[in-house]
């Protein structure tokens, strides 16, 4: 691990903010690192408000989208709400369709089949709309590159409204409206919305025509918060506000589908991390293992007893997903070991039998072992399909763009993307991808980095300090959980390996004979020697709570020790 300490803010700025907020220097430093320099900035950050939401009509084409939908509603046209099979897509479809159903009945939903149709808008979906007399399709979390498909729909008399957040290509599809804050000609103030966030802005705009405000739309924010967490978009600006209020809904008044999942997992208060690692994988499992329709059905169900049945069905999909993911990861690691004849800057593996629904998860797992830009391929019809994942600081989307001569279709983000190609192009693509990455990546990026917010002493860790830290949440990209470093630590002699295969490290540590605090390091069992026999060491960690036997205490969540 590379340990990188963030630059310290100017002392004068720290002192000014300390004085204005009546906080300690560490808290002032954390705020300045997050771009908060004034009392007003801190107030907005710590106390998100409905007033922080931007006017949806600032988004390019929003007026066109609203006019076309209002026309469809007034004429009683059949509207098809279309979205991808992942969490962002299914939550978007659940949100927009459930809102539109408060306006009229002839609203239907469509999720493409991951295996039969693949990612994004499909010809099969357009044909379904044509055969069933849908004259308007609202596409969510997809469509920004579907030039030919939008043209095909137009020939069949079907209008499209695209709500996307992926990077556009050079040409914008000729749809009735294209909402995407990443359009170069879009002046919307916040560029990092997820697909469900764009869908929510559309609903906000539509609701304003009925004289409804954000307060009337709060019930939809549990869906938006889940998509924000799952899609790993920055939790800054408007996303932070959406996630903040969405988490309140999840914890206080969740929709029946979420309530059923939460009841199954028996957890009381969910953080954004819980949403990412507990709720999102279950919603995703439907599209991975069976069909994304199951997720939309769960998320739109209003009868709790029915929702419980759907949730247990999805729980089984998630169990199946975990088993497939574990097996394929073992096979992929073996494949890498068998082909280790030369040093490579990329990891590219392929097996035609691998389950397409879990190759993205497997790519992430491989990065945990071999920290390289990674592609996991499988057979999809007569093509090969892959999920790409990247390392911090390297743009895999740009790397794929540089290999586009060998690719049939690709899309995604800086750190996660998907692609398809013809089988005969696989070897040429694999070599080109290696060439592009090896010639463009900063070699330092191939060692995982831990970014440290501040160096502190154990005596700084008090219940009051932790209460302030909690108020910095929800955490995520752009506002990560604060990470600290402390030197001159010593285990009190109780350090040991714990958990399955002794993978984890548990220590009880002190600094200069101060009060003891427990540290738990997941996956750090191999570091026991570093801390044993009361040797001095330094640690990088975040702070969290341990709940045991009805008691709550602070503990260190160790990231690394040296």
Is residue 18 pLDDT above 90, yes or no? yes
Among candidate residues 175, 170, 179, 128, the one with its CA nearest the CA of residue 154: 175
Q: Which residues pair with 560 in a beta bridge?
A: 540
Among candidate residues 219, 225, 217, 177, the one with its CA nearest the CA of residue 197: 225
Model pLDDT for residues 249-294, shown as the tens digit of each residue: 999 999 999 999 999 887 878 999 999 999 999 999 998 888 999 9
For residue 147, the domain's CATH number is: 3.90.1640.30
Q: Which two tokens stand for residue 368?
A: 């945990």
Among candidate residues 159, 195, 200, the one with its CA nearest the CA of residue 180: 195
- What is the rounded CA–CA span in Å between residue 118 and residue 379? 12
Same domain, 187 and 285: yes
Same domain, 238 and 374: no
Q: How far is CA 485 from CA 11, 330, 338, 529, 548, in A?
A: 20, 34, 38, 19, 26
Query: Residue 194's pLDDT is what?
Result: 96
Same domain, 143 and 286: yes
pTM attached to this predicted model: 0.90
Position 341 confidence tier, pLDDT thresholds 50, 70, 90: low
H-helix or E-strand containing 450? strand 449-452
- What is the rounded CA–CA span in Å between residue 402 and residue 424? 19
- 481-492 mean pLDDT: 96
% the chain with pLDDT above 90: 86
Q: Which two tokens stand for residue 500?
A: 């399955």
For residue 540, the domain's CATH number is: 2.40.50.460
For residue 376, the domain's CATH number is: 3.10.310.30
Where among 446, 462, 478 does a domain terminate?
A: 446
- What is the rounded CA–CA span in Å between residue 536 and residue 494? 14
Q: Is residue 1 one of the residues assigned to a domain?
A: no
Q: How far is CA 384 from CA 116, 350, 359, 457, in A?
A: 13, 9, 12, 52
Same domain, 250 and 302: yes
Q: Is residue 7 one of the residues assigned to a domain?
A: no
Model pLDDT for residues 509-544, shown as the tens digit of each residue: 999 887 899 999 999 999 999 999 889 999 999 999
Model pLDDT for residues 49-65, shown as the tens digit of each residue: 999 999 999 999 999 99
Same domain, 127 and 252: yes
Model pLDDT for residues 284-340, shown as the tens digit of each residue: 999 888 899 999 999 999 999 999 999 999 999 999 999 999 999 999 999 998 887
How would DSSP label each residue in 5-26? EPPPPPHHHHHHHHHHHT--HH
Q: Is residue 35 one of the residues assigned to a domain?
A: no
Calculate the average pLDDT of the chain: 94
Query: Residue 209's pLDDT is what?
Result: 94
Same domain, 282 and 301: yes
Give the count of beta carbons closer than 10 Å to the beta carbon of residue 514: 12
Position 211 confidence tier, pLDDT thresholds 50, 70, 90: very high
Q: Provide the number of structural domains found in the chain.
A: 3
Q: Is residue 476 one of the residues assigned to a domain?
A: yes
Can you give the three-state secondary structure of 312-377, one letter per residue?
HHHHHHHHHHHHHHHHHHHHHHHHHHHCCCCCCCCEEEECCCCCHHHHHHHHHHHHHHCCCCEEEE
Q: Which domain holds residue 532?
A: 450-561
Query: Residue 339's pLDDT is what?
Result: 81
Model pLDDT for residues 408-418, shown as the tens digit of each residue: 988 878 888 99
- What is the rounded CA–CA span in Å between residue 426 and residue 377? 9
Q: Is residue 480 one of the residues assigned to a domain?
A: yes
Do 514 and 525 touch, CB atoms closer than 8 A? no
Q: Is residue 327 one of the residues assigned to a domain?
A: no
């Amino acid at each position: 691990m590379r340990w990188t300490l963030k630059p310290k803010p100017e002392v004068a700025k720290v002192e000014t903010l300390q004085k204005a907020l009546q906080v300690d220097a560490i808290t002032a430093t954390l705020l300045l690192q997050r771009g908060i320099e004034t009392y007003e900035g801190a107030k907005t950050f710590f106390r998100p408000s409905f007033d922080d939401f931007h006017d949806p009509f600032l988004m390019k084409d929003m007026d066109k989208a609203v006019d076309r939908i209002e026309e469809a509603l007034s004429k009683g046209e059949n509207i098809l709400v279309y979205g991808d099979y992942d969490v962002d897509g299914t939550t978007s479809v659940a949100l927009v369709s459930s809102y539109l159903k408060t306006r009229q009945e002839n609203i239907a939903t469509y999720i493409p089949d991951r295996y039969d149709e693949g990612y994004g808008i499909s010809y099969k979906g357009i044909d379904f709309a044509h055969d069933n007399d849908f004259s308007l399709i609202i596409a969510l979390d997809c469509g920004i590159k579907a030039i030919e498909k939008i043209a095909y729909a137009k020939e069949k008399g079907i209008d499209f409204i695209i709500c996307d957040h992926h990077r556009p290509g050079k040409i914008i599809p000729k749809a009735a409206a294209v909402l995407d804050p990443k359009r170069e000609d879009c002046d919307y103030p916040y560029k990092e919305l997820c697909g469900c966030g764009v869908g929510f802005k559309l609903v906000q705009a539509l609701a304003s025509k009925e004289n409804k405000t954000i307060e009337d739309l709060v019930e939809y924010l549990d869906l938006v918060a889940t998509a924000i967490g799952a899609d790993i978009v920055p939790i800054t600006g408007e996303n932070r506000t959406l996630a903040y209020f969405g988490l309140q809904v999840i914890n206080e008044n969740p929709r029946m589908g979420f309530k059923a999942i939460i009841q199954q997992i028996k957890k009381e208060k969910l953080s954004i991390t819980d949403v990412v690692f507990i709720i999102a994988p279950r919603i995703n499992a439907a599209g991975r293992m069976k069909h994304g329709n199951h997720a939309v059905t769960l998320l739109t169900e209003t009868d709790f007893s029915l929702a419980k049945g759907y949730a247990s069905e999805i729980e089984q999909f998630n169990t199946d997903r975990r088993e497939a993911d574990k097996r394929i990861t073992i096979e992929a690691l073996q494949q890498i070991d068998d082909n280790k004849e030369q040093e490579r800057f990329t990891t590219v593996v392929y097996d035609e039998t691998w389950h397409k629904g879990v190759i993205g998860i497997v790519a992430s797992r491989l990065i945990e072992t071999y920290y390289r830009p990674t592609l996991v391929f499988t057979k999809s019809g007569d093509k090969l399909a892959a999920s790409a994942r990247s390392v911090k600081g390297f743009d895999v989307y740009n790397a794929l763009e540089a290999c586009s001569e060998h690719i049939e279709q690709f899309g995604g983000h800086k750190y996660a993307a998907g692609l398809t190609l013809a089988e005969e192009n696989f070897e040429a693509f694999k070599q080109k991808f290696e060439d592009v990455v090896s010639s463009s990546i900063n070699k330092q990026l191939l060692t995982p980095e831990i970014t440290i917010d501040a160096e502190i002493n154990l005596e700084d860790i008090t219940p009051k300090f932790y209460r302030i830290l909690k108020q910095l949440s929800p955490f995520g990209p752009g506002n990560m959980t604060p990470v600290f470093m402390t030197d001159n630590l010593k285990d009190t002699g109780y350090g040991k390996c714990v958990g399955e295969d002794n993978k984890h490290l548990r220590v009880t540590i002190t600094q200069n004979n101060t009060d003891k605090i427990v540290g738990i390091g997941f996956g750090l069992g191999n570091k026991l020697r570093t801390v044993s026999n009361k040797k001095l060491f330094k640690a990088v960690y975040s702070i969290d709570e341990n709940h045991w036997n009805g008691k709550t205490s602070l503990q260190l969540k160790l990231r690394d020790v040296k």
